[in-house]
Structure 1
Amino acid sequence: MADSSDRILNGGFQPQYAPFQRLFQPNNSRGPSRSNTNTPSPTHDHILPNAQSPGFGYGRQGHPMMNLGPKFTPGGNDNHHGFSSFGGGGYGGGNHVGQQHSTPTLQNAQPLTPFQQEQLEIASLSRKSSGIHHHAKVSVETARTGSRPSAAVTITDPNHPSQPIINGLHRKDGPTQEAQEMPSEDGSEKRQEWRALDLGGVGTRNLAQELFKYSFITQLYINHNKLTSLPPDIKQLKLLTQLDVSGNQLTSVPVELGMLTNLKELFLVDNQLTTLPAELGTLYQLKTIGIEGNPLNEQLKSLIYKDGTVGLIKYLRDSCPVPLPPPERQWYIGDKKSDASDDAEKRTPEHGIDSFNVFCYNILCDKYATSTMYGYTPSWALSWDYRKELILQEVMSYAAEIVCLQEVDIQNYEDYFAPQLAYAEYKGVFWPKGRAKTMREEERRTVDGCATFYKTTTFDLLDKKLIEFSQIAMSRDDFKKTDDFFDRVQNKDNIATVTLLENKKTGGRVIAVNAHIHWDPRFKDVKLVQVALMMDEIHRLATQYAKIPPRARPTNHEGEWDPPKYSNGTKIPLIICGDFNSIATSGVYEYLSKGIATADHSDFGESAYGALTSEGITHPFAMKSAYANHDMQFTNYTPGFAGVIDYIWYTTNALEVKGLLGGVDESYLERVVGFPNAHFPSDHIGIMAEFKFKKQAETKTLPPPDFGESSRRTSRQETRGGARR
């Protein structure tokens, strides 16, 4: 039979226990404060010494830390240099082990490595924290001395004082998960957020399922219990930075632990672990792992002693087996969803001459794909030789008539993508970012830019243009007068490219724009300015393109040849693809979809950009995102961000969407912390839409109004009079 703490932690707490008594609270939350804040609480005298006593010191950032004596050495005093307060960083200090001390060794024994000594220190501290709610008590005592407020509060059922309920885990009438009510000094209730949960030392054998609904907690202490396993649902606690499961009876840890990519400290001391799952290699932010006291295999143990936590994570990451590939992405036709691979065969014969596909993809430039940026990705999956093959395969498999790629560097455009795609009857248009102009040839070849490829069997290229946002802004007199232009816009060398294509079979034209907007979320104003400048330039070019007369019938053309005529630039079908680094609630999205952003738009902030911020911005095109009516989970997927920032925009007066490429299978994403990985070579995913040209409304010349015989007689007289003149 489970003990009382088991029943509580497994949801056994009953509604009649609703009133709670708070223990171990800071002085400033109990009411009138004592005159002497250094006087220890009678309740806690046996827990920790006073902050002013010889047993207390001050640690990092001035937080009080319990001084447990000299560092642990074999045969010596097994104490540590300090203990951080609850919520302050756990036992260790990452791979930095601080000041080196001489370590007594047995005769003929090898001296301890710094990382081995660190493991022994962590284990020593862990064994001293086996008491009930040890971390919470330390935290409260620390907060009581005035250092900082407590991050967690122990709550006890007054009817069963020996059965603690921590942080309102089972409160039915309590506050929301994000905040906890705390009494203020005047006795009124106030809400205090908490992020740490201490279930340590209560002897539980199982964890309540409700625990994993507390997805906001950042620290979880379930040490010194009787747990034999951790539920896979622990992956729901994605914000955890510190997890202590020391002193249990674990024989394994779930692979789902690797989904907790925010973890910085993981303590597994004194369990029955013989190995660690390779999936822990995705814990790229982990600074400290404690594994002492486990019958761990010698390979892993030696690796930790030699290279520390960082070395262990790197080894696990690169030795992790490749997961099963995801199912094919779905293809949407209207409201109908079908398999993309099956539907590709169906689309080919039905893909009429008035339809075409557009594929957009930020491929992640090689120089940006570093282990620092993507520490969760195996090094072999991050290598360019591996990724470029997957990228090319993906582009070729979708066989879109127009392909817009971002972050393609000069070298790989010239030496790889252009030659390889030429075999599939593509030609390309490419420009690098502006910085390439000032670099030597060797450095220049690593600069990325935008590459647009088009099927030569479908389109002819009529014109191509480069849009350099900073250069266009420089040409505007009102921009030159603002400090914000020089400080925020001019030093960003993002670009867009414009291609004017003509359908070989119909003579219909389409303007295809490929853009890459500045990435930094702190520069929302710059993003909006760049897109506004782009739309102004597109309008200017479209007006010129509308004046280009239709070409004569090609000599080898079969069938009718009646190319459309465009009365103005807004009548030409327009596609704008790219990585806009802007979500659907941004000013960029609002401006493109509505055609206007007012001068007081919040994304402009306090910045001044001449007429753009004094009068607002507009554009004349009827634009819509191809995915506006579809719930796309993301186009960029990393542990720190998952959202839609890539778009295919089109003019609704000239084009209609016939189909869309769907997102990534959700069941696959449950096992993946982020991209790139073995199956997705970029942190972005490609998006694709099928478009159909709309027929232009015919403009008919209406006859003059007929008001009877008198009207016709007058008309004839005017005609004769005009002839005489």
Structure 2
Amino acid sequence: MVAFSSFLPSLLLLLLPSLQHHHPHHPQHHHPQQSFSSQHHPSPSPMHQQVGGLLIGNLGNNTGNGSHSSPPIQHAGAEDTVHWQQQIVKYTACRQASAPHYRARAAAIAGRMSNNNKSAISITDPNRPSSTKPNGFHKKDNSISGQTSDSDDGSGTPLGRPGSALSHPSALASPVVVSSDASNQQPWSGLDLGGIHLKTLSPSLFAFSHVTSLYINHNSLTTLPAAISLLRKLTVLDATGNQLRAIPPELGMITTLKELLLFDNQISDLPPELGTLYQLDVLGIAGNPLPESLRLILEKDGTQALIAYLRDSCPVPLPPPDREWATVEADNGLSPETAPESFTILCYNILCEWYAPGATYPYTPGWALAWDYRKELILQEVMGCGADFICLQEVDEEQYNDTFLANLSKEGYEGAFFPKTRARTMASEEKKHVDGCATFWKASKYNLVEKRVVEFNQVALQRPDMRKSDDMFNRVMSRDNIAVVCLFENATSGTRLIVANLHLEWNPSFRDVKLVQIAMLMEEVEKIAGHFAKYPPALLGPDRTPGPSYSDATKVPLIVCGDFNSIPESGVYEFLSSGSAPKDHEDFMDHLYGSYTTDGLSHKLNLKSAYASIGELNMTNFVPIFKGAIDYIWYTQNSLAVTSLLGDVDPAYLSKVVGFPNAHFPSE
């Protein structure tokens, strides 16, 4: 939450783009903490050498291969299924990799065969990285995701059509481009500690956070430390042929895993927390005394079916503690003591039902993703805060009427809703499922004077300087985002307030469009505020006393809030906070937008982000591939002041969570 003081109202802002939580009643679950020795079994030759991009334990001769007696290969039944056949093929290959550093040696041989210009594979010190690329052993992939894209700028981010699952940030797509840090590049990405009689894993191992492949197979390990979850880039973990009796639930935090090979151990059960491994292609379980029910799921339907079963059967974890309030000292001379009025505002992207299929958030249990479950949590959060203004994004017409207005009206709220532009061309039944923005207010405290919708693509079409721009037609016109602008008067004092509730384009490939959209909104809001300032003052009380008057647009208090899909380093944030953006701003890229790219952008509204005085929230969007602030509440500094803010979600809780939505947070 956020609180303000002002020449008019003292403003309390509640920023909740999915950050409130529900505290379901459930039994408490604890996982025992384990300690591990950093001592390694002695190895006869030097450790930490590099072969073909793979760091290995040693390249000398061992007295043994570290393997132990293994049971015969299991068969699923009289007639093996395709999934079990694949399991056995992988099982056989892993058994054959029992010699010391088998993978590293295989990579070296492959490297020699593929490199005609070298007679040997160089071995380098990993602490002195070479500038040459590794020889093809799990080469590091710098892309955000492994999927192809129709993106016209080659960013690798899927564009998606408006209204589709891929037209929305999710586990599959980030709202901003996340580039890899070249300074952290390593010459090797695989680590082979296989077949060398290890009994424990050193804590220092988990400092290699860049590692994508870890081979600890055919050793004498009896446990895996929870700290293994620090290796958040792992795609392959092979722990075949050890003496493991259990798997740490923290392993479920490594959502990048594609192969988890646990063949030939003594594992009697799988922690349900592994259900978050939504990218896992192979879960190797043969050769373990696991329950028949788990093996049959994998046998019949494959790895992802078993992961889904674990995900949906996972117990609800303990909820986080309540978010703490931070008191803010006003920097413009306003304070709650001197302010005649105060109000609160809640901003919340609720995650529309149609943007949340299981495939889009595959780490979330099906029951927690279901709209019937999520809407109850959302209603509890929205109604529980008791805010004077509630600004929601991604609400469709049916949800607006049946879920929100139906319940909020009982608490004295009225509302205004507009869907995205595409609803114009749809039949009445279809348009009910088009999302938009909804604003609610306490009718006993504020009177709605006027409501307007700003359709960004329609505003662009009306600009003469953009009509000849191919970029306007090809990029801006194809995105149908909107803003809902409501004009209010205080029922008691007659003071005025404008609340703009918006949802900008999400796709990072269209960061130019985001900047164009916010520029158009500021122009429209300035016009609306100018007209509002000229309205005659409200007449108050029995004696019809005139309320306050406003000389121009900049004097009318203004809130601009919503889902901006833009980080603090973006052009959108820079423009709003500074009041300008140069004509050659990098977010325009090479696109042309009339006066915006010939003269630059400017506005006169003197805006400030509510959280700017203490630092933006660490995140308002939390999914496996992106964690950051993209939702904001902006206010006019000359007429409003923040007095308190609702802080971040507990970091300890977040460290154990893959992403939102989950059992406690119904939106991402």
- Normalising by structure 1, we get a TM-score of 0.73
Aligned twin of 2:649: 664
Q: 1:650 to 1:612 in 2, by over 3 A?
A: same
Matched, 1:223 2:247: no
Q: CA deviation at 1:122?
A: 1.4
Per-residue Cα deviation, 1:67-117 (whole angstroms, up to 9, x for no partner): xxxxxxx99xx9xxxxxxxxxxxxxxxxxxxxxxxx9x99xx621111121
CA contact (8 A) 1:353 1:505 kept: no
CA distance in 1, matches of 2:368, 2:194: 39
Secondary structure at 2:539 match in 1: coil
Per-residue Cα deviation, 1:112-134 (whole angstroms, up to 9, x for no partner): 11112122111111110011111
Among residues 414, 417, 423, which one is paired with 1:427 in the alignment?
A: 414
Among residues 109, 123, 126, which one is paired with 2:91 in the alignment?
A: 123
Secondary structure at 1:145 match in 2: helix
Among residues 300, 306, 315, which one is paired with 2:309 in the alignment?
A: 315
Q: 1:381 to 1:264 in 2, by over 3 A?
A: same
Matched, 1:145 2:116: no
Aligned twin of 1:450: 437
Q: 1:7 to 1:472 in 2, by over 3 A?
A: closer
Q: 1:380 to 1:7 in 2, by over 3 A?
A: closer
Among residues 213, 222, 234, which one is paired with 2:228 in the alignment?
A: 234
Aligned twin of 1:636: 621
CA distance in 1, matches of 2:115, 2:122: 19
CA distance in 2, matches of 1:149, 1:450: 62
Secondary structure at 2:642 match in 1: strand
Secondary structure at 1:500 match in 2: strand
Aligned twin of 2:566: 582
Aligned twin of 2:447: 460
Secondary structure at 2:627 match in 1: strand
Matched, 1:545 2:528: no
CA distance in 2, matches of 1:43, 1:375: 44
Per-residue Cα deviation, 1:484-511 (whole angstroms, up to 9, x for no partner): 0111100100000100111122211110
Q: CA deviation at 1:555?
A: 2.9
CA distance in 1, matches of 2:649, 2:209: 24
Q: CA deviation at 1:335?
A: 7.1
Within 5 Å, give how 1:518-537 maps onto structure 2: 518-537=505-524
Aligned twin of 1:506: 493
Matched, 1:211 2:205: yes
CA contact (8 A) 1:248 1:270 kept: yes
Q: 1:526 to 1:539 in 2, by over 3 A?
A: same
Q: CA deviation at 1:554?
A: 2.7
Q: CA deviation at 1:613?
A: 0.6
Matched, 1:568 2:562: no
| Letter in structure 2 aligned against 1:668 | Y
Q: CA deviation at 1:350?
A: 9.2
Within 5 Å, give how 1:77-96 maps onto structure 2: none
CA contact (8 A) 2:39 2:201 kept: no
Q: 1:556 to 1:595 in 2, by over 3 A?
A: same
Per-residue Cα deviation, 1:654-706 (whole angstroms, up to 9, x for no partner): 100011111111111122110001111000xxxxxxxxxxxxxxxxxxxxxxx
Aligned twin of 1:612: 596
| Letter in structure 1 aligned against 2:596 | L
Aligned twin of 1:283: 277
- Normalising by structure 2, we get a TM-score of 0.79
Q: CA deviation at 1:142?
A: 1.3
Aligned twin of 1:708: none
Per-residue Cα deviation, 1:281-319 (whole angstroms, up to 9, x for no partner): 011111111111101111111111111101101100100
Q: 1:182 to 1:476 in 2, by over 3 A?
A: closer
Q: CA deviation at 1:351?
A: 12
Aligned twin of 1:303: 297
Q: CA deviation at 1:376?
A: 0.4
Q: 1:606 to 1:633 in 2, by over 3 A?
A: same
Per-residue Cα deviation, 1:154-174 (whole angstroms, up to 9, x for no partner): 969xxxxxxxxxx74xxxxx2
CA contact (8 A) 1:20 1:155 kept: no
Aligned twin of 2:167: none
CA distance in 2, matches of 1:115, 1:335: 62
Among residues 573, 583, 588, which one is paired with 1:599 in the alignment?
A: 583
Aligned twin of 1:480: 467
Aligned twin of 1:256: 250
Secondary structure at 2:114 match in 1: coil
Matched, 1:399 2:386: yes
CA contact (8 A) 1:253 1:276 kept: yes
| Letter in structure 2 aligned against 1:674 | G
Q: CA deviation at 1:563?
A: 3.0
Name stretches of at least 5 consecutive residues in structure 1 with no aligned partner: 1-5, 27-41, 45-73, 79-102, 157-166, 169-173, 185-190, 337-348, 684-725
Aligned twin of 1:365: 352
Q: CA deviation at 1:25?
A: 5.2
CA contact (8 A) 1:22 1:154 kept: no
CA distance in 1, matches of 2:111, 2:413: 67
Aligned twin of 2:504: 517
Per-residue Cα deviation, 1:413-448 (whole angstroms, up to 9, x for no partner): 011101100011110010000011111122111000
CA contact (8 A) 2:39 2:200 kept: no
CA distance in 2, matches of 1:402, 1:134: 63
CA distance in 1, matches of 2:386, 2:337: 15
Aligned twin of 2:161: none
Q: CA deviation at 1:614?
A: 0.8
CA distance in 1, matches of 2:368, 2:51: 49
CA contact (8 A) 2:261 2:285 kept: yes
Secondary structure at 2:201 match in 1: coil
Per-residue Cα deviation, 1:230-286 (whole angstroms, up to 9, x for no partner): 111111111111111111110000000010111111100011001100000011111
Matched, 1:112 2:106: no
Higher Rg: 1
Name stretches of at least 5 consecutive residues in structure 2 with no aligned partner: 1-36, 54-58, 62-70, 135-184, 331-335
CA distance in 2, matches of 1:149, 1:317: 49
- CA RMSD between the two structures: 3.1
Among residues 413, 419, 424, which one is paired with 1:437 in the alignment?
A: 424
Secondary structure at 1:565 match in 2: coil
Per-residue Cα deviation, 1:533-557 (whole angstroms, up to 9, x for no partner): 0000001111111101211113399
CA distance in 2, matches of 1:669, 1:351: 39
CA contact (8 A) 1:251 1:274 kept: yes
Moved over 3 A (4+): 6-10, 19-26, 147-150, 153-156, 179-184, 349-353
CA contact (8 A) 1:142 1:148 kept: no
Per-residue Cα deviation, 1:582-618 (whole angstroms, up to 9, x for no partner): 0000000000000000001000000001111111110
Secondary structure at 1:634 match in 2: coil
CA distance in 1, matches of 2:49, 2:408: 68
Aligned twin of 2:611: 627
CA distance in 1, matches of 2:85, 2:455: 56
CA contact (8 A) 2:494 2:537 kept: yes
CA distance in 2, matches of 1:143, 1:674: 39
Secondary structure at 1:423 match in 2: helix
Aligned twin of 2:191: 197
Q: 1:192 to 1:649 in 2, by over 3 A?
A: closer
CA distance in 1, matches of 2:117, 2:318: 46
| Letter in structure 1 aligned against 2:623 | T
CA contact (8 A) 2:475 2:513 kept: yes
How many residues are matched?
561
Q: CA deviation at 1:564?
A: 2.5
| Letter in structure 1 aligned against 2:87 | Q
Secondary structure at 2:260 match in 1: strand
Among residues 260, 265, 269, which one is paired with 1:266 in the alignment?
A: 260
